[in-house]
Structure 1
C-alpha cells in the first residue's frame, strides 16, 4: 500500500466500492482496479469506507470489550500509549496562598503497542453469490464481525502479549488480584468490590462467565434467601457482563473481574481488509473470504480492574 492517506481517500469512492465487490464475487480482474487499497504484506484489500463502518458497528455489537473498553485508532507505524502514574492536584487555595504542584518526571508510563494480526475466514456457495437478490455485503459484514469479535474478546481476557494482545487476566500487565479465596462466598464478592478504589468503582462493571454467574445466583443465606437479589444484569448496583471467555470457578482460576474497563484500551493498528479466495474452493462451487485486522489491547492502569483468584 503505497500511501496510506491516499488509500483511505480512495476507499471512500464509489468506483473503488464497485470494483471491490466485483472482486468479492470472483472477478479476479477487478483487483487491478484496487491497487491503492492493497495491503502488500498479506494481499488483502481495504474494505470500502461504508462497508468498514458497517463492519465496525457490527463488531461493537459482538465484542463485549468494544462496548466497555476504550477504542483507539493508531494507524501509524510507531505508536506508544501513554498512561498516567500520578494523581493530579485539585485543592482549595486561599487568596495569595501557595499553589501546590509536583515536579515528578515520571507522570507517564510509555506502553509499546504491537501489531497483532487477527483473521476470520468464511465460505459462501456460488449459488448465493450469483443471486442478485442476495445481500452479500450485509452477510459478510455480520459473519466477519461475529468471528472477529469472538477471538478479540478471548484475547482481551486471556491474551499473553505474545503474538496477541495482553488480556486482563495476564499475570504481567493484567488486572491486580483483589481477593484470593479457597471457597467462593458472597462475602468475597463484597471484598472484591471494595478492593477497587472508589474512583474506579464509579463506572465499574463485573465480568464473569455463565457458570460463575449461576453459582453466585445460587448462594443463599441461613434463612434460604438468595444473596444475589434483583436484576440478573446487576450486582451490587453495577452492570454484569457475561463473557464465557472468563474461566469457571476452579483452582488457580481468576473467575471474576470488577472495575473500570475503560482503562483497557483496544488499539486498532490498521483498518479491516479482506479478499476472496477462489482457486482452492472452485471444485466445491464455493468462494472463501479472508478478513484481516491488526490490533493490540492493553490495560493501562492495572489497579482499575481487580480479579478474584480461586486458590483451591
Structure 2
C-alpha cells in the first residue's frame, strides 16, 4: 500500500487527540485523592504507551514517504554492473571466476586477498543505509568513510592570542594555537548469516537483499551499543566510556564530558531537564537533542515546567519530531535505565560531538562446509568511533 501525506496527517491528528486525553487524565491523577490515584495511574500509563506507539508509527510513515520520494542512485558503470553480477553468482553458487579482477576494476579498495570478496559498491551503501535506519547513533552522529585502516584528526584547543593596537603600533606575535591529535578507536565487526543451498538455488530468492538485511541488522545492533558504551578495545569507544567530570567547559580537560547531577539518587525532575539544556553552550543548543530509552521518555512525558505546561509535546506536522522542552528526542535503548547513579539521559549536538568512521569495503567469505546443509556468509567490516568535541554533549547522572 502506497504511503500518502494524508496517512501521516491522520496519525498526527490521532497523536494530538491522544495527547490531550493523556494530559487530562494525568492532571486528574496529580490532583486526585489517594483512593483514585491507582485507577488513574493505570489509565495514564496506557495512554502514555499509546502515545509512544503513535509517535513511532508517525515516524515510520514519514520515513516510508521520504523513501518513495527519494531519487534513484546514479547508474553504475559497466565494471560495477559486472561486479554485481559476478558477486551474485558467488553468493548463489560459489563461482569465483574473474571476481577478484572485477573488484579491482570497480575500484574497491582495502580488500584483503585472503579475506573473502568485497561486496559491490551498491550493496555496501545499502548496508550502511540499513544500519542508519536501525541505529539511533547513526541517525544523529557525524559519519565519515575512509579507505585506510584508521583515522586521525587534529583539533584546535584554543590559545591563539589576539589584542588591540593602534594604527601605527607594532604587532607583537600572538600565542600559538594548541593542537591535539585524536584517533578513532577501530575494530572489526562480523556477522555470519546462514542460508540453505536450496534457497540460494531458488531464482526468486533475492540473495543480495537477504544478505543486506541480515548483516545490516546485526551490525546496527552491535555498533549502536559500541558507539555509546564500547570500551575502545577492538571496538569503537562509546560516548559514556569517556571520563565524566562535573567541571564546566572552561576548566574541564579536553576529552572529558561534563556530567550534571540530578540531586536525587535514581530520579530527575523538570528542573534537571532545564539545567541539562543550559549546561550546553548556545552554539551547540541550536542543534541539541535528547537521547534516552523509552521508559525514561515515559517519565519525561509527565513532567511540567514552572508555568504548568507539559515539557513533552507531540510533533503534529509532517517531518516535525516530538520534543522535550523544545528539543527533539532520540530513543536509544542502550542508554542506561533510570536508577541510582545511572547516566540516564544525554543532551547535545551529537553531529559535532561524536564521529563514526567506516572503512570502505564490506567483505564476504562463503562457507558451504562448516554447517551443512547451510551455507554461511562470514561478513566483516572495519568501523570505529570517537568523541570529537567533548563540549558538545552533556550527561545527566541520577545522583546527589
TM-score calculated relative to the size of structure 2: 0.66
Flag the 1:117–1:12 CA change in 2: closer, same or farther, 3 A: farther
Query: Rg bigger for which structure?
Result: 2
**1:123 Cα offset (Å):** 1.6
* Greater percentage in helix: 2
**1:88 Cα offset (Å):** 8.0
Return the alpha-carbon distance in structure 2 between the equivalents of residues 11 and 164 of structure 1.
Answer: 36
- The worse-fitting range, judged by mean Cα deviation, of 44-53 and 81-90 is 81-90
2:45 matched to which residue of 1? none
- The worse-fitting range, judged by mean Cα deviation, of 298-307 and 11-20 is 11-20
Report the 3-state secondary structure (helix = DSSP H, G, I; strand = E; otherwise coil) of the residue aligned with 1:288: strand
- Match status 1:210 vs 2:294: yes
Unpaired runs of 5+ in structure 1? 1-8
Return the alpha-carbon distance in structure 1 between the equivalents of residues 78 and 186 of structure 2.
Answer: 22
1:175 matched to which residue of 2? 257
2:133 matched to which residue of 1? 61
Assess if the C-alpha contact under 8 Å between 1:218 and 1:226 holds in 2: no
> Which protein, 1 or 2, shows the higher relative CO under an 8 Å CA cutoff with sep ≥ 6?
1
Flag the 1:21–1:310 CA change in 2: closer, same or farther, 3 A: same
Assess if the C-alpha contact under 8 Å between 1:71 and 1:266 holds in 2: yes
Assess if the C-alpha contact under 8 Å between 1:204 and 1:261 holds in 2: yes
- Match status 1:34 vs 2:100: yes
**1:236 Cα offset (Å):** 1.6
Assess if the C-alpha contact under 8 Å between 1:11 and 1:49 holds in 2: no
Flag the 1:221–1:204 CA change in 2: closer, same or farther, 3 A: closer
Report the 3-state secondary structure (helix = DSSP H, G, I; strand = E; otherwise coil) of the residue aligned with 1:292: strand
1:219-252 per-position Cα deviation (integer Å, ceiling 9, x unaligned): 35799x6733421721121110000011101122
**1:72 Cα offset (Å):** 1.6
* Greater percentage in strand: 1
2:12 matched to which residue of 1? none
Flag the 1:281–1:162 CA change in 2: closer, same or farther, 3 A: same
Between the two proteins, the alignment pairs up a number of residues equal to: 299
Flag the 1:43–1:193 CA change in 2: closer, same or farther, 3 A: same
Assess if the C-alpha contact under 8 Å between 2:90 and 2:96 holds in 1: yes
1:292 matched to which residue of 2? 380
**1:206 Cα offset (Å):** 0.8
Return the alpha-carbon distance in structure 1 between the equivalents of residues 219 and 279 of structure 2.
Answer: 33
2:235 matched to which residue of 1? 164
Return the alpha-carbon distance in structure 2 between the equivalents of residues 111 and 97 of structure 1.
Answer: 39
**1:105 Cα offset (Å):** 3.6
Return the alpha-carbon distance in structure 2 between the equivalents of residues 241 and 12 of structure 1.
Answer: 40
- Match status 1:251 vs 2:334: no
1:236-272 per-position Cα deviation (integer Å, ceiling 9, x unaligned): 2111000001110112210100001012111113422
